[in-house]
Amino acid sequence: MRFKRLVFLNVIFLSLILLPNAVSYAQSVQASSLDGTFYPKDKDELESMLERFFSSAFVPEIKSEIIAVIVPHAGYVYSGEVASCAFKALIDKGYNTVVVLGISHRHYFKGVSVLDKDAYITPLGSCQIDRDFSQKLIGFDEGIYFLEKPFNGENSIETQIPFIQYALPKARIAAVLIGDSSYQTCLLLQKALCEAIGRRKDVVIVISTDMSHFLPDKKARAIDSLVISRLEAFDPQTLYSFLFNMNDTNRPCGSSAIVSGMLTASELGAGVVNILRYANSGQVSGDYDSVVGYVSAVILRAKEQSNGKMQDNEEGYAMEGFLNLSQKKRLLQIARSSIKDYIEGAGSKKLPEDEDKVLNSQMGAFVSLHKAGRLRGCIGNIEGRGRLCQTVADMAVQSAVGDPRFNPVTADELDDIDIEISVLSPLKRINDPDEIIMGKHGVLVRDGFRTGVYLPQVAVETGWSREQFMRSLCSQKAGIHPDAWKTGACQIYVFTAEVFGEKENN
């Protein structure tokens, strides 16, 4: 009897010692199911692939707070380079919780399912789930709950996990799947996310979506470009109507995730979408008859405003002739070398401080590429957010590889590309459209978060009248009523640009 009692006490004692390990071992986990298909199963191979993606990813300097990112969710061979741009932008930004918003591809259900487990296991190891955050979502409304089956084999969630493990190794995740595409569900998820995030600044949202599916390259680029312009307009409610009036092959597969994420980001103070990279599967497979589009973007906190209006520039806007020949040549040299370095695999570079004060001043700039007299890419930053020389370097690379209207520039094309740079004056608010001087002024129109801009040279190249210019700017670029500029329904800003190119400076 005494012996049995001693054995019983020993068992109790050992159980108490081993209890923490037992609890750890009993953790509920979500095992990866796409390794070996969407991404490598071997840990070393996967790490090597991610390292290659991140080392070559181009990310311009981003000073604003990133509230959300948009990334693709296809096989890494096809979309990994695009996805890495957005994830690279998150490195060292202090994010502790990453909310992954995906859509259920294979299982329909009402409302939203949140993964209620302890960890997600991939070849890179265990990615801890923020259980407290997940429980807040589940407890918000009966339309948000845990349904396990849709997470099994769901690429909109799983493809993001290794990227998060690589870029933010200490962060925890919340995995959220949208089951139905109603606007009511998008609004429900927005309210739950805003409640769970509260005032936290260490939470970032990852919106998982591919673009158009299985269209010919040219048609896919045209449709994706239209969708991207709607993303940049930053009007989630209008975006929902636009996306769900498209047919299935044209519409991004993660449309409800996009709308939910943008609704949430807007409520949290975001107002700007910056596109980092666009590509499609044809650039990898060589099959341009049936492609899938991919986009990488960051959603940023809106620029500080006063009384809901953009701060006007009180210093005027005439800047013609302020750059000397040496400064122009230096900027053109920076643009060409930045494109060459990036295309040849050296990656993007942060330029050192230049002795020239003008090149280090904060100004907006556009970089346009032409080949045989035809546009080959054009991207810019309308408002200066950093040093002019760095802006030109960043926009040059983006014009070469990130303009969704064109295939990326190849190394073989470099010698045939002509570079043109437009350095912009600060914006000046005007109330009378008659102040616009065609050919001299570039114009930006703004209605809430919807904006559109034309550079001064557009009027010269098209031969448009002021009426044609402004109607096109409002309807085609900003997505607002074509007569908004006449009726006072939008704000109008003018600026000038110093335009110069390699041909005139050789």
pLDDT 10s digits, 163-180: 999 999 999 999 999 999
Write down the pLDDT at residue 317.
Answer: 35
- What's the rounded Cα separation, in Å, for the pair 231 and 243? 10
- Quickly state the pLDDT bin for 438 (edges 50, 70, 90): confident
Q: Which amino acid is at 462?
A: T
Tell me which DSSP letter residue 386 carries: S
Helix H or strand E encompassing 497: strand 497-501
- 417 band by pLDDT with thresholds 50, 70 and 90: very high
How far, in Å, CA of 294 to CA of 253, rounded? 11
Average pLDDT over the chain reads: 87
Q: Percentage of the chain with pLDDT > 90?
A: 62
Q: What residues pair up with 279 in beta bridges, in sequence order?
A: 294
Query: What's the pLDDT score for residue 321?
Result: 52
Q: Please, which pLDDT band fits residue 505 given cuts at 50, 70 and 90?
A: low
Closest CA to 274 of 168, 384, 380: 380
Radius of gyration of the chain (CA): 25
Q: Which two tokens stand for residue 41?
A: 């199963």
Residue range 104-122, pLDDT digits in tens: 999 999 999 999 999 999 9
Query: Residue 448 has which token pair?
Result: 């809430």
* Axis crossing angle, helix 255-267 with helix 183-197, rounded to the nearest 10: 40
The two structure tokens encoding residue 20: 């923490």
Residues 41 and 237 sit within 8 Å (Cβ to Cβ): no
Under the banding of pLDDT at 50, 70 and 90, the label for residue 348 is: low
Q: pLDDT category, 470, cuts 50, 70, 90? A: very high
Q: Report pLDDT for 431.
A: 87
The encoded tokens of residue 123 equal: 């070849």
pLDDT above 90: residue 36: yes
pTM exceeds 0.95, yes or no: no
Q: What are phi and psi of 459, to 5 degrees?
A: -65, -40
Q: Are 465 and 382 in contact (CB under 8 A)?
A: no
Query: Which pLDDT score, from 0 to 100, does residue 419 have?
Result: 96
pLDDT single digits (tens) 266-319: 999 998 898 889 999 998 999 999 999 999 999 998 753 333 333 333 333 334
Which among 237, 238, 227, 142 is positioned nearest to 186, based on CA atoms? 237
Q: Model confidence over 131-155: pLDDT tens digits?
A: 999 999 999 999 999 999 999 999 9
Q: What is the pLDDT of residue 181?
A: 92
